[in-house]
């Protein structure tokens, strides 16, 4: 019961901060759960996926209520790509896991790649006014970007929020808010493909399912709190929270690599 409460509190904090900073909760949940080391990497990735999927589902429902119009020429190929990428990411994760002598080595691989991604994201954030952006319209490349984002998201178990937004801003010249909408779509479909894959294989019973109600409920609460705070804070405060969060996540990754 104590573990469930601890996980619930982490998810609440992660989804609140993630919603305020616009980076999602998964990128915080995964390294935080890894640092605790209560469950194995496969179970932690599963829990993170459940939290991220819950947040994405709630966000999509909220967007549909506001009447947001998505461009079909973008949303269809990028969503389909994220589904394929989600399957590839899960396959890659399982393949590497099976071929490692020490199961915990996957945590080092994931943390190292996440740390590298965080440095790239921080570099982009601090230099975005200098970076050239594009306006991709070719459906193959849109599909390919969705596939890459879905694969990375599932393999690292992070949802992919900040990385998605950075790349969509670069390749589609979107403003942050518009990029966030398409980011949610890729997160939803990639996580959905992973959970369906697990379900079809009948692997749900391999996991400890007791923490799931705590994870789902606190993910929803944190998402609502964070969204409301995001509306109240000005851009400078949000950007400050964003940068501090990236630095804290980088520190967690270093701890996970060295532990």
Q: Give tens-digit pLDDT for 184-232.
A: 788 888 888 888 888 887 777 778 888 899 999 998 898 788 777 877 7
DSSP E strand boundaries for the chain: none
Give the best-scoring range by mean pLDDT among 84-98, 148-162, 216-230.
84-98
Instruction: Show the domain range for 62.
Output: 2-258
Residue 28 exposed, middle or buried by CB count within 10 Å (0-12, 13-18, 19+) = buried
Average pLDDT over residues 84-103: 88
Percentage above 70 pLDDT, the chain: 95
Domain count, the chain: 1
Q: Encoding tokens for residue 1?
A: 């019961």
Average pLDDT over residues 68-88: 88
Task: For residues 50 and 69, give the distance between their C-alpha atoms in angstroms, rounded to a whole number.
Answer: 26
Q: Encoding tokens for residue 164?
A: 């998605």
| Structure-model confidence comparison of residues 204 and 257, the more confident one | 257
Task: For residues 3 and 29, give the distance between their C-alpha atoms in angstroms, rounded to a whole number.
Answer: 14
Q: What pLDDT does residue 72 have?
A: 85
Q: Give tens-digit pLDDT for 95-123.
A: 998 888 887 788 889 889 989 988 888 88
- Report phi then psi at 158, rounded to 5: -115, -5
Rounded to the nearest integer, the mean pLDDT of the chain is 84
Which DSSP category does 136 fall into? -
- Return all residues near 158 (Cβ < 8 A) that are at least 6 apart: 24, 26, 27, 29, 30, 48, 52, 114
């Amino acid at each position: 019961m104590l573990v469930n409460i601890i996980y619930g509190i982490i998810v609440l904090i992660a989804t609140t901060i993630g919603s305020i900073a616009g980076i999602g909760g998964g990128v915080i949940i995964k390294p935080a759960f890894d640092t605790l080391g209560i469950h194995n990497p496969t179970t932690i990735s599963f829990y993170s996926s459940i939290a991220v999927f819950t947040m994405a589902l709630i966000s999509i429902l909220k967007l549909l209520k506001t009447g947001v119009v998505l461009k079909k020429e973008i949303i269809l190929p990028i969503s389909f790509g994220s589904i394929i990428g989600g399957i590839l990411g899960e396959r890659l994760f399982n393949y590497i896991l099976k071929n490692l002598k020490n199961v915990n080595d996957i945590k080092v691989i994931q943390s190292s790649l996440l740390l590298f991604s965080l440095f790239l994201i921080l570099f982009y954030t601090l230099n975005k006014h200098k970076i050239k952006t594009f306006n991709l319209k070719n459906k193959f490349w849109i599909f390919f970007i969705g596939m890459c984002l879905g694969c990375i998201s599932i393999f690292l178990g992070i949802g992919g929020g900040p990385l998605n937004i950075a790349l969509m801003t670069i390749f589609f010249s979107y403003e942050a808010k518009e990029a966030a909408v398409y980011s949610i779509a890729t997160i939803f479909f990639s996580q959905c493909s992973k959970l369906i894959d697990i379900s079809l294989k009948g692997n749900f019973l391999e996991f400890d399912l007791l923490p799931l109600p705590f994870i789902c409920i606190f993910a929803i609460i944190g998402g609502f709190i964070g969204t409301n705070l995001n509306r109240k804070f000005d851009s400078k405060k949000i950007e400050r929270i964003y940068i501090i969060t990236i630095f804290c996540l980088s520190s967690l990754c270093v701890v996970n690599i060295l532990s």
